């Protein structure tokens, strides 16, 4: 279930990945797979767990993630933070078509993984109106989501 089903490898410590930048008229559509006839650039990556440990940060209260469909991979690399005794609030974007283009991923992966770790998820607008969390994982559309535990 959840993140453990992701086919993409987990990033540990530091890893260099190839990233394909998008043309200016396609801003925000860069990707880890070849597109737009672009040559890849090398990008050094680290997990959030590694960065928090390296900086000796004792507690994380909020995480905001907007990585155009790769949210599940970010959350995988923050397992220690997200499953800690004092887990942070997580604010992230859901967009069906961006999650759908992630190699080895699937639409709803980020939500499923967080739910497996005990998070409840709201549409931001519903949380602000005092409504209940989502019952099912969203699989279509675009929403800003908020995930929380222990409330």
**Would you list the domain boundaries of the chain?**
2-148
pLDDT value, residue 103: 80
pLDDT digits (tens, 9 = 90+) for 36-85: 888 888 988 899 999 999 899 999 999 999 988 889 999 999 999 999 99
pLDDT value, residue 4: 59
The rounded distance, in Å, linking the Cα atoms of 94 and 79 is 19
CB under 8 Å to 126, separation ≥6 — which residues? 132, 133, 134
pTM across the whole model: 0.83
Strands 142-148 and 89-95: antiparallel
Alpha helices (H) along the chain: 48-54, 71-76, 79-82, 96-100, 109-116, 124-128
Which tokens belong to 108? 């709803």
pLDDT value, residue 141: 97
Q: How does the average pLDDT of the chain come out, rounded?
A: 88
Residue 28: pLDDT above 80? no
**pLDDT higher at 103 or 7:** 103
């Amino acid at each position: 279930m959840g993140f453990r089903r992701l086919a993409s490898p987990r990033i540990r410590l530091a890893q260099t990945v190839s990233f394909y930048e998008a043309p200016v008229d396609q801003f925000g559509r860069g990707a880890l797979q070849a597109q737009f006839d672009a040559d890849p650039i090398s990008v050094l990556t680290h997990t959030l767990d590694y960065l928090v440990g390296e900086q000796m940060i004792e507690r994380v209260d909020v995480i905001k993630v907007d990585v155009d469909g790769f949210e599940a991979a970010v959350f995988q690399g923050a397992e220690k933070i997200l499953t800690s005794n004092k887990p942070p609030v997580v604010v992230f974007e859901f967009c069906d078509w961006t999650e759908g283009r992630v190699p080895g991923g699937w639409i709803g992966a980020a939500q499923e993984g967080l739910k497996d770790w005990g998070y409840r998820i709201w549409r931001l607008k519903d949380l602000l109106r005092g409504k209940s969390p989502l019952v099912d994982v969203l699989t279509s559309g675009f929403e800003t989501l908020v995930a929380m535990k222990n409330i």
